[in-house]
Structures are given as structure tokens and as C-alpha cells.
């Protein structure tokens, strides 16, 4: 690992579903979706540096601080091929947790890219890696594709970048629900 900077830093942007349609249910209980997603400027920040373990800021952000339960750490493990000895991952949360903005999935994809870079591998996503990332979270392949806008199908693992027409950049106002919006393991919404 020569010529690797001591610390690598990446932003992990939030996403917004411009459209979302449930088109079916698979035998495993997951819902088949059709969606158009766009990246937002709102982003968490990840830093990979020499050290050991995971640090999440702000403390008490309701995220798992045990590495094996944290989506970002799981993305890092995949990106580094399982060998995470001697590295520390710091995650600064700015995306509200459980707000439907894909923060955990984006963190996993950014950590995967950091792991790839630390290992000297390219950020290119192979079909096998896309499937492995989808096992971490259905939105992770969208973030790993690094498309500003994309049509997403399946449970979220099939990503087709789309062009945004020139001059269509928009501003949005995000209203965050006063309760967490979490997907259950079977892909259904778990709300109040």
C-alpha cells in the first residue's frame, strides 16, 4: 500500500425519490420498485485513516457504533476485501437518521469506495459487487453508481443513470417526519 495518503475523505450525499412506485412483491417478501432518484447536496462525511475501529459523530445519533452492525463499516469491509486491520473509519452524520434520504446506504457506498481506494482498487462496480452491496442495503448500489440521477428498479439494485435536462437543477425543502421511517427486513415500511 505505498503512496496511499494517511487519511482519505469522502462525502456521502443524501438522495431524494422523485417518483416511487411499488410494482410487485417477490417470493422473499421484498417489494419490486420503480423509482427515479437524485442526489442532494446534503451529505455525511467519512474519513478513513490509520487506527482501529469506528467513530460516529455526533455521539448518540442513534446509529450502531459496533462496527459489525453499522452499514458504513460493512461497506468498508466489502471494499477492502475483508481486511480492515489498521484502519479507522470516522462518520460525521448530517443526514437525518431514518428520514428516507438514504443516509446509511450512502455511507455504506462511500465507505466501500474508501476501502477500494485504500486497497489500490478502482471504484468500478462489478455485477458481483452490486449484488454484494445490495445485501447491505437496497439503495447502496444507487449510491455506488455515483449517478446524479438514475432510474432504479428491482429492490433497488438495478440502476440506470439518466440525464437531467440542462437548467433543471432545483431546490427542495425537506420536511422530516417526527418519527423514524425504517424499512423492515421484508421491504415494508415500519412507521408509527
pLDDT tens track, the chain, 192 positions: 445 568 999 999 999 998 899 999 989 888 899 999 999 999 999 999 998 888 877 665 666 666 778 899 999 999 998 888 889 999 999 998 888 899 999 999 999 999 999 988 887 888 888 889 998 988 999 999 999 999 999 988 899 999 875 666 677 777 777 777 655 444 444 444
- String of DSSP letters for 76-131: HHHHTTT--TTEEEEEE--SPTTSSS-HHHHHHHHHHHHHHHHTT---PPPHHHHH
Separation of alpha carbons 101 and 41, rounded Å: 12
User: Quick check: 144 and 114 in contact, CB under 8 A?
Assistant: no
- How many CB atoms within 10 Å of residue 34? 15
Q: Which position has the grid cell 443513470?
A: 161
Residues 6 or more apart in contact with residue 82 via CB below 8 angstroms: none
pTM score, whole prediction: 0.84
Residues 6 or more apart in contact with residue 95 via CB below 8 angstroms: 12, 14, 42, 43, 44, 101, 102, 103, 106
- How many CB atoms within 10 Å of residue 114? 27
Q: Which positions are catalytic?
A: 15, 139
Burial 47-79 (b: 16+ CB within 10 A, else e): ebeeeeebebeeeeeebeeebeebbbbbbbbbb
The residues that bridge with 12 in the sheet, in sequence order, are: 44
Q: How far is CA 155 from CA 17, 18, 25, 134, in A?
A: 14, 16, 9, 8
Give the pLDDT confidence score for residue 185 in this predicted structure: 43
Amino acid at each position: 500500500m505505498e503512496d496511499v495518503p494517511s487519511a482519505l475523505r469522502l462525502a456521502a450525499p443524501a438522495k431524494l425519490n422523485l417518483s416511487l412506485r411499488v410494482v410487485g412483491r417477490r417470493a422473499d417478501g421484498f417489494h419490486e420498485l420503480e423509482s427515479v432518484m437524485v442526489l442532494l447536496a446534503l451529505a455525511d462525511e467519512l474519513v478513513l485513516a490509520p487506527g482501529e475501529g469506528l467513530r460516529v459523530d455526533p455521539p448518540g445519533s442513534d446509529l450502531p457504533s459496533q462496527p459489525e452492525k453499522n452499514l458504513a463499516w460493512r461497506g468498508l469491509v466489502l471494499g477492502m476485501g475483508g481486511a480492515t486491520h489498521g484502519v479507522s473509519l470516522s462518520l460525521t452524520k448530517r443526514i437525518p437518521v431514518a428520514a428516507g434520504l438514504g443516509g446509511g446506504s450512502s455511507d455504506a457506498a462511500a465507505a466501500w469506495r474508501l476501502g477500494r481506494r485504500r486497497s489500490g482498487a478502482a471504484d468500478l462496480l462489478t455485477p458481483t459487487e452490486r449484488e454484494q452491496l445490495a445485501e447491505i442495503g437496497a439503495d447502496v448500489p444507487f449510491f455506488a453508481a455515483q449517478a446524479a440521477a438514475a432510474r432504479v428498479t428491482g429492490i433497488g439494485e438495478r440502476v440506470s443513470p439518466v440525464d437531467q435536462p440542462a437548467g433543471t437543477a432545483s431546490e427542495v425543502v425537506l420536511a422530516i417526519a417526527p418519527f423514524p421511517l425504517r424499512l423492515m427486513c421484508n421491504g415494508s415500511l415500519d412507521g408509527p
